[in-house]
Amino acid sequence: MRSDLWRNNIVLLTALFILAPVGLILWQSFLTDAFFSARANPTADTYSFVLSDPGFWDALQNTVILSAGMVVIAVPLGSLLAFLMVRTDMPGRRWIEPAIFLPLFMSPMVLAFGYIVSIGPSGFWSTWWQQTFGAPFWNVYSMPMLVLVVALTHVPHVYIYVATALRTVPSDLEEAARVAGGAPLTVAMKVTLPLVWPSIAVSAVLVAFLGFELFGLPYVLGDQDGRLVLATYLYKFNTLLGRPAYQLMAVVVIFIMLVTLPLVMLQRRMLRSAQRYSTIGGKATRSHAVPLGPWKWVALAGVMIWLYAVVLLPLSGVALRSFVTTWGPLVAIRDVLTFDNYHKLADLPLIRRSIVNTLLLAFVGGFASLCVYALIGLASHRSQAKSTRVLDFLVLLPRAMPGIVAGLVVFWIFLFVPFLKPWVASLVAMWVAYTLVWLPFGLRLVSNSFGQVGRELEEAAYVTGAGQARVARDVILPLAKHGLLAAWLLAFLLYAREYSTGIFLMGQGNEVMGTMLVSLWNGGNIDVASSLAVVNTLVIAGGIALALRLGVRLDA
């Protein structure tokens, strides 16, 4: 009875943590003014105002185009990449695979800066191309280029699902087809593809709803032409109207969640079906690599071109821009080289504080969030209670909430609750928002770690008279410590790259590198923004190196 009470209390607190932001958004969307204003009255006119705004429909159209473009480009490329890495004899696979996950942990703001300074109108590559071949044939601010960039940077999301499926599906069917005389391409299309098709479909749904969460790349690359998506439309609402309009922003949030939540639930349902489907087939034997012959070098070249486009091109541009005072068609690099941009980082208190706060939030905050996820995970571990089944669906809500939305609603909650108001511009508020955003992901990591502990070990502890708390302390947590360490390191990487969650929460004293990059971009300070982007990338690179050194799987 006591264990059930403890579990129910944890579930209740978690439900409150999840539902309070959602309820506040819904309530605010039906008010004439900010929820904390005495002038606020119930109304439905807010929905009429937003739906009658052409800017909203333009932003929705751009979001749908981006999302569809990501699916059309990223899903085939990610599936092909997984096949090449898992099923073929393409050279260099062992050292290429860690690099595939780099776009997952790189800040989209850093990538956006990199593309601007590399292939923008005055970018390094654009200038070289113009001097060598004439006017560049690309426009980094165009819609096709934006679709291409966001699609290429989301290829790893597809790779994770398809590569995992390829490693688990039986290989004897493919080998039988080859023995029967099937060519590698025929076997891949008629045998391998149907076996992993459910995972491809799951990844397609994932990429589709990620398209509705995009902020950084569309904000930087679409800003020149005033091209907005739903997330940037939400961010610019105050600028467009000249005053805070929380009720209208809440309406936009509701529309975003109405689209993303069904996609999240669909992905969850398809993922479970895919897991059941992948167990059907012959005996799972070790697969022999499909020989590509001379085409293996073509495949390797294609993978390297993709890695260059999504990693080396933007990072090299940001790094070079951080070491020059200015740049343009008539500027020679040797004449403008400098370390002054990095000296500015050390001289500006805001920048110094953002670096320290990022490390503090990623290291300490990531550990604190892990403790929260572990507590929730223990409450639902091997439980068949109705309350935990309800919790299983509640954790989908934050997954449908983009980071900028979570930051906005946490900002509202800290304004609404009197004892929280003094902390509204603090790292505490930032940590709460981060914990909410990454709750589904963190809980999945923790639950996977707990699930690896043998049931018989727990049952043996219960037989000897140990209670639930004792079993958790002496059996589950010690045996799951390596998985929890991996989850902590992954939380560090995610928190270090996060940028959109803290935009509405940023105040004096709680600046982090991600939000400072947005602020510097808004102020046109590209020199300092580039050098800060390099520092942010180095922090993330250090975390990735440590994770790999400790054997952490980046695709967890």
Q: Print the SS3 string covering 308-373.
A: HHHHHHHHHHHHHHCCECCCCCCCCHHHHECCHHHHHHHHCHHHHHHHHHHHHHHHHHHHHHHHHH
CB count in 10 Å sphere of residue 151: 23
Let me know whether 345 and 413 are in one domain: yes
Let me know whether 197 and 270 are in one domain: yes
**Tens-digit pLDDT profile for residues 153-193:** 999 999 998 988 888 766 666 667 666 666 666 776 777 77
DSSP E strands in 134-290: the ranges are none
Q: What are the b/e assignments for 16-46, b being 16+ CB within 10 Å?
A: ebbebbbebbeebbbbebbbeeeebeeeeeb
Number of domains, the chain: 2
**Measured between alpha carbons, how far is 458 from 144 in angstroms, rounded to an integer?**
55
Is there a domain that residue 138 lies in? Answer: yes
pLDDT of residue 171: 66
Is there a domain that residue 307 lies in? Answer: no
Contact status, residue 81 vs residue 159, Cβ threshold 8 Å: yes
Let me know whether 10 and 66 are in one domain: no
Let me know whether 58 and 140 are in one domain: yes
Let me know whether 16 and 157 are in one domain: no
Retrieve residue 41's tokens: 């009255």
* Residue type (1 letter), 374: A
pLDDT of residue 392: 77
**Tens-digit pLDDT profile for residues 353-369:** 999 999 999 999 999 99
* Residue type (1 letter), 19: L
Kindly give the interhelix angle for 526-549 and 349-360, rounded to the nearest 10 degrees.
20
Q: What is the mean pLDDT of each run of 10 residues along the chain (556 residues)?
A: 70 89 90 84 90 92 95 94 89 89 89 91 87 88 93 94 81 67 67 79 89 90 83 79 78 89 79 55 53 88 95 92 80 80 87 93 94 89 76 81 87 86 89 92 86 82 78 85 88 90 85 89 85 92 85 68
List CB contacts of 387: < 8 A, sequence separation 6 or more.
Answer: 7, 8, 11, 12
Let me know whether 528 and 422 are in one domain: yes
Let me know whether 356 and 259 are in one domain: no
Is there a domain that residue 300 lies in? Answer: no
pLDDT of residue 283: 46
Assign residue 472 the CATH number of its domain. Answer: 1.10.3720.10
Is there a domain that residue 312 lies in? Answer: no
Is there a domain that residue 321 lies in? Answer: no
Let me know whether 84 and 214 are in one domain: yes
Is there a domain that residue 298 lies in? Answer: no
Domain span at 198: 50-283
Let me know whether 11 and 70 are in one domain: no
